[in-house]
Amino acid sequence: MSVFSTTLESLSIITYKAYNPVEEKEHYSGELRVAAVIRYQAAVKKIAVVIKAEGYIRTGKGTQMLPVGYIETQTVFLVEAGPGKTKTAEKPAVITPELENYLIGIAYNNTRGLLYERGRNDLMGAIVLPLVAPEKILREVVQDA
């Protein structure tokens, strides 16, 4: 089992767009699409997790899904190998599935809070991102050497 020391370095909203395609109603049926992109910068020992969430609603039975909005956040972590890893300190650490899930979980939960705060006055903000196990979120890993 690998041991890592992680520090949350920054948290930001990259993109936020909200559309109000319909009048507000009490009940909607909808869909939420969530994906994570992991960018690993070996030279500076940083991992950036970008969470992308898109909301869609259906206003009536049999109608098409309409976009409600989009949020893209970035959470940057400083990650270093823990004790006992000094021999390989010069080599980039391998992103283990456990580390990946841990960082995505933190980034996703931060996105939930940012969406709540940023979207207070629009329909996108009315969407509550559900609790999702990090391993269920679609992902892409990008390594910058």
pLDDT in tens, 125-143: 777 677 888 898 888 777 6
Dist CA 19 CA 41 (whole Å): 34
- Please state the rounded mean pLDDT for residues 34-46: 88
- CATH topology for the 4-144 domain: Bacterial Protein-export protein SecB (3.10.420)
The token duo for 144 is 């910058």
Dist CA 73 CA 79 (whole Å): 19
So what's the pLDDT on residue 48? 94
State the chain's mean pLDDT as an integer: 80
140 closest CA partner among 40, 41, 53: 40
**Residue with token string 């910058």:** 144
Q: What is the residue extent of each domain of the chain? A: 4-144
Dist CA 84 CA 132 (whole Å): 33
pLDDT band at 55 (very low <50, low <70, confident <90, very high): confident
Residue 64 is classified by DSSP as: P
The 10s digit of each residue's pLDDT in 79-127 is 887 665 444 444 445 678 888 899 999 999 999 888 888 888 877 777 7
CA angle in degrees (0–180, nearest 5) for 50-55-59: 180
